[in-house]
Amino acid sequence: MLGQPEVVHRGDQPYVAIKALVTMETLGAVLPGLHPEVRGWITARGDVPSGAPFFKYNVIDMERALEVEVGFPVTHAMTGDERVQAGVLPGGDYAMLLFTGHPDGLIAATEALLQWAAQQGLEWDVAQASDGERWAARLEIYELDAPKDMDRWNTELAFRLADRSGP
């Protein structure tokens, strides 16, 4: 089930994550196992995540590879290490869509959000690079306490829009 797409404004958000290169075939096997590792890294430093876990798609080339960060927002900037990196999700306007259902439906939900934005004349904060589309922030945000029944999961898609303020 798809919610109504909308544009929302988000402030800068510090986060920590593990970066992974995956293919469409390995995405489901590799990425979900990294959330517990990141949560453990945060708690080992005496802190807790300040929000829900997410996947941040940095580079997308559906035919070759995806560069994805698996992370959590945190309340303050942290210093990463050789495994876990620290960053800031950039503030700005985001196109957002809430999807309820099994993660297998996220490709169709993503397509619905991309089509809606095109119909609205919205432009993404994305650049073409040699390794694929490089996004400023393209997020899949998962529930903190998701139900065991994956068909009832709520996933928020939030994709950063290009700055529309002009010169």
CB atoms within 10 A of CB 137: 23
Proportion of the chain above pLDDT 70, given as a percent? 98
CA distance 116 to 112: 6
Task: Provide mean pLDDT across the span 28-55.
Answer: 92
Range among 1-5, 13-17, 22-26, 149-153 rated most confident:
13-17
At 89-126, the pLDDT tens digits run 999 999 999 999 998 899 999 999 999 999 999 999 99
**Mean of the per-residue pLDDT values of the chain:** 93
CA angle, 50 then 54 then 55, to 5°: 150
CA distance 98 to 155: 6
pTM summary value: 0.93
CB 38 within 8 A of CB 16: yes
CB 150 within 8 A of CB 81: no
Q: Residue 167's pLDDT band (boundaries 50, 70, 90)?
A: low
At 149-166, the pLDDT tens digits run 889 999 999 999 998 765
Looking up tokens 């495994």 gives: 83
What domains are there in the chain, each with its CATH number? 6-160 (3.20.80.10)
Q: Indicate if the pLDDT at residue 85 is higher than 80.
A: yes
